[in-house]
A and B are shown apart, each in its own frame.
Chain A
Amino acid sequence: MPTVVISGSSCRDFTHGESEFEVAATTFRQLIRELEQRFPGLGEHVEEYMAIAIDGVIYQDAYHAPLKPNSEIVLIPKIGAG
C-alpha cells in the first residue's frame, strides 16, 4: 500500500501528531476521502490547502494524481503565485 507523509506541522492538530500513514488510496481523490474518514476535517484541509508531491513531481488540485505503492508521496502546503 502507498505510504503518505504529511510535511510540516500544519496538520498535526487533525492527526494528533502523526505524520506518516499507509493508505489504501490509489489516487489523490481517494486519499482525501480516506484521510477525512480517519481524521475528520483533515481530508477537507488537505483538499483545500495542500499539494501532493509524487516522486518529486508536484500536483496541485489534481484528483487524478496516481499514488503507487513504491512512490515517495508527500503532502506539502500549496504553492502560491507571486
Chain B
Amino acid sequence: MTFIGNKSDLRVVGTRPVRPDGVDKVTGRAVYGADATMPGQIIGKVLRSPHPHAKIISIDTSKAEKLPGVKGVITSADIPNIPSEEAFVGEGPMNFRDLSLNCMARDKVLYEGHVVAAVAAINDAVADAALKLIDVKYEILPHVIDVEEAMAPGAPILHDNLFTAGVTPKPTTASNVAKQVRFTIGDVEAGFAQADVIVEQTYTTAPVHQAYIEPHACVAAIAADGQVLITASSQGHFMIRAYTAKLLGIEIANIRVTNAEIGGGFGGKTVVYLEPLAVALSKKSGRPVKMTMTREDVFRGTGPTSGGTIWVKVGATKDGKITAAQTVIKLQAGAFPGSPINPALMCAFAMYDLANVDTLGYDVVSNRPKVAAYRAPGAPISSFAAESAIDDLARKLGMDPIDLRLKNAAKQGSKTVYGVTHGVIGYEEVLNAAKAHPHWTAPLGKNQGRGVATGFWFNIGGESTGGVFINEDGTASVVTGSPDIGGSRASMAMMAAEVLGIPYEKVRAVIPDTASIGFTHVTGGSRVTYATGMAVTQAAQAVVEDLKKRAAMIWDISPEAVEWKDGEAVPAGANAGGFDPLPLAAIALKAAKTGGPIGSEISVNAQGAGPGFGAHICDIEVDPETGHSTILRYTAVQDVGRAIHPSYVEGQIQGGAVQGIGWALNEEYIYNKKGHMDNAGFLDYRIPVASDLPMIEAVLVEVPNTRHPFGVRGVGEVPIVPPMAAVRNAIRGAIDLEMFHLPMSPPRIRAAVDAAKAPKAAE
C-alpha cells in the first residue's frame, strides 16, 4: 500500500467538514435500534434470574403461554444445545457454547440477571404479565463475586468442567481460575538486585460498565422459508449475523442484518444478547419481534469490563534507569472465561525500554455478568498500577515524572515483554509534547495537584470491505461494512474525496446491510479508519484508473497519455493532445458509452496497524473534608499517525479520557450480600456528565504509520489507558494521599484521609 499522505499535498484529509450524520442525529431523524420497526411486530421480553448462582430445577411456562396476547414463550429448550467451540469472531476469542448459555441459561444460572426465559406478546403490559406467570424452581447455590475470593480454596465453583489451563501438571480438580498466563524477558531477580530504589504495591480496580447511553435493542423476523431479517445497533452487523447463525444453526446466507445508528458501544456491543432470542421468539410466534433493554437490564445482564487485583514491583538505579519490572494480575471474567488478561500483561510496561520484565496473570470466573470488551481491554487496569508505581518511583528518585519516562522510553528497536520489537512509534514525541505544553508548568493552588500517566495500545487491522461508486451526475457514493461509532463515515468520504480530487460535499458515505457489501469485521480495535479506510482508498484509486481509461476513450487516445489531477483527467503532456481538462462529472455523464457503471469494491485483510501511545496530564482539586475531587484541567496528548478528520480524532481522545476519569473517580458495581447489584442505574452508578468536567484538551502528535496510505494509526482505545493513574497521581499531588483502590470516590478519599490522620491523632 503506497503512502500518499504527505501533509502538504492534502486538500481534504486533515480538514474539519461537517459530519454527514449530524443533522439526522440532532433532529431525531436518525434510526437507532429502538426506533427500528417491522410491520406486525410484537414485543419480546426476558425473564432474568434473581439469584447469582443456582441450579435450574424446572421452568413451567404453561400459564404464561395461555395468557391472552402472548404469542410465544421460549426457554433453553428452544435454543440449539451447541457444543463447545471457539473462534475469533467479534471482540476476541469466543466460545460459542458459552455465548449461547450467556444469552439464555440452560441448567444453571451464573449471575443475577442471567436470562432463563423469554416471551413475545402483543404489547409491553402483556409481556410483563406473562413473565410473572413463568414459574422457575431454583436450587440456590453459594455465590462468589470478588476475584480473590473466587480464587481461594473452598470457593463456590461455577463450572465443574473448568480446569486451569497453562498449569503443569494439568489440574484434575475444577477451579474458578480458567487460565494462568506468563510473559517474561530477561531476569527480573538480577534486575532488582541492581536497583537502588524499589517500589512495590498492590492495587485494585472495580469492574465498570462501558455505559453506552443507548441500551441494546433489535427487531428480528424469520419468515416461513427461514429467511431472517434483523435490524439492530451494534459494532458489527456481520458479527450479529455470524453469532445468530452459529447459535441458532441457520446458514449465514439466510440472515440479513441492517445496521441501525448506535448510541455508543466502546467494545460492549461487539457481542450479542438479544438478537438470537428475538429470532427464536419470531420463529415461535410467527411474527417479527422487537426487544429493547432497559438501563437496569444493561447493568444486570450485559458485560462490564473486568475488575482486578494488580501487584506491581519496579526497580531503578538512582539516576532513574529502570532495571526490572514485575506484575501479577488477577482479572474477573464474570460467569464464563475470557477476561482480557493477555493484553493486560502485554501492555502494562509496553511504554518502556526494559531488559527485565516478568508478567503473570490469571483469568478468573465469578458470579457476575460475563465481561465484554471495553476500549483497550485489560490495558487501563494494568496501566493504572504500572503508571502509579512509575510515579511513586519518580517521587522516591526526586525526578520529574515525565523525565523518568523519557529516560526509559520505548522507541524504535525497543523490545516488549511479549517479545516484539517496536517499529516506528511516537512515544518520545508524545512525552516531549506533554512536557512542552503550558499545562505542565501552570501554577497550582491549595489542595490542588497534578498527575501524569501514559498508555499504549496495539491497534488492529483486519477484514474490511469498501466501495466507491460514481453516480451519473459525478457525485460519489462510498459504501463500507463498518458501523459508524465515531465519525468514520466522514473519514471514509474524506479519503475518497482526496483520491478522487473532488470536494467532500460531493461524496456520501453509507453503511448498507450484510447482503449488500462484502464481509467486514467489527468496528472496534481502533481499526476502521486504518483497515476500512485502506479498502476505501484502494477502491477510489481503482476508480481513478478507470476514469483515466474512460477519458482516453472520449479523447480517443491511449490511457497511458492521461493523468488525473484535482478531480479532472488531463493530457499527460503536449504530445497527448491539446484537450481541455475533463472533469469527473463529464466522464460520469458518458459512463454508459465508455463501458458502463464506474465503481470499485475492494476487500482487504489489513495488516501492520501501528500502535499508539498517549500521555495525559491531570490537574485536580481535592476537598479533604468531603473527599470530593474536581478535575480542574485535563490535557491528553496522543500519537495519532495522521488525523483524517481532526475533530473526530479529538472526540475519540476526549471520550476515552472522560471514561477513564469516571473509572478513576466514581464508577463501580456495588453488590450486596445476596450477590445483587445495588446500583443498577445511572443515578447511583455515577458516570461523568458534561457539567462534571472541564473541556479535555486533545493534542494530536502525528508520526505517520506509512503502511496506511494516509499514515493513519488507530486512536479510539489509547485514550482510556492513562486517565486512572493520571488522576491518582494528581490526588497524590493535591493532598499527599496515596490511593491504591479504584474508584477514588469521596467516601474512599475521606476514609483514606482519616486513616492517614489516625497515628497523628493517637499522638
Contact = CB atoms under 8 A, between A and B. Distances in A.
Among B270, B377, B420: residue with most chain A CB under 10 A = B420
Interface in B442-472: 458, 460-463
B743 interface: no
A58 interface: yes
B373 A48 contact: no
A13 interface: yes
A55 B421 contact: yes
B15 interface: no
Given A56-B420, A58-B420, A59-B607, A82 B166 contact: no
A8 B418 contact: yes
B605 interface: yes
A62 B373 CA distance: 24
A78 B92 CA distance: 8
B91 A9 contact: no
A3 to B, nearest CB: 12
B607 A79 contact: no
B667 interface: no
Given A8-B183, A13-B168, A80 B419 contact: no
A82 B346 contact: no
B376 interface: yes
Interface residues of A, number: 28
Contacts of A12: 166, 168
Max count, chain A CB within 10 A of own CB: residue among B86, B90, B168: B168
Contact of B346 (A5, A9, A72, A76): A76
B422 interface: yes
Given A7-B419, A60-B461, 4 more contacts: A9-B181, A48-B86, A62-B605, A77-B342
Interface in B508-563: 521-522, 524-525, 527
Given A8-B342, A57-B707, A76-B418, A82 B607 contact: no
Given A9-B166, A10-B166, A48-B88, A78 B608 contact: no
A6 B183 CA distance: 10
B143 interface: no
A62 to B, nearest CB: 5
18 contacts: A10-B181, A13-B166, A53-B419, A57-B608, A58-B420, A60-B460, A60-B462, A61-B463, A74-B418, A76-B420, A78-B93, A79-B458, A80-B340, A80-B373, A81-B235, A81-B462, A82-B270, A82-B373
B186 interface: no
Nearest to A6: B419
The 5 closest A-B pairs by CB, nearest first: A80-B92, A81-B524, A81-B525, A82-B267, A56-B423
A58 B458 contact: yes
B87 interface: yes
Contacts of A60: 460-462, 607
A62 B422 CA distance: 20
Interface in A34-82: 48-49, 53, 55-62, 65, 72, 74, 76-82
A79 B460 contact: yes
Interface of A: 5, 7-10, 12-13, 48-49, 53, 55-62, 65, 72, 74, 76-82
Contacts of A61: 88, 462-463, 605
Contact of B421 (A48, A62, A72, A77): A72
B346 to A, nearest CB: 7
Contact of B607 (A13, A49, A56, A65): A65
Among A9, A12, A55, A79, find the residue whose CB has the most chain B CB atoms closer than 10 A. Answer: A79
Interface string B108-152: 000000000000000000000000000000000000000000000
Nearest to B266: A82
A24 to B, nearest CB: 21
Contacts of A58: 420, 458, 460, 607-609
A58 B525 CA distance: 14
Nearest to A19: B419
Contacts of A72: 420-421
Contacts of B168: 12-13
A81 B92 contact: yes
B266 to A, nearest CB: 7
A56 B421 contact: yes
Interface string B395-433: 000000000000000000000001111110000000000
A62 B607 contact: yes
Most chain-A Cβ atoms within 10 A of its Cβ — which of B377, B525, B607?
B607
B374 interface: yes
A13 B168 CA distance: 8
B421 to A, nearest CB: 5
A13 B607 CA distance: 29
A56 B609 CA distance: 10
A79 B462 CA distance: 10
B717 interface: yes
B11 interface: no
Contacts of A57: 423, 607-608, 707
A70 to B, nearest CB: 13
A3 B270 CA distance: 36
B182 A8 contact: yes
A5 B419 contact: yes
Contacts of A10: 165-166, 179, 181, 342
Contact of B420 (A13, A49, A53): A53
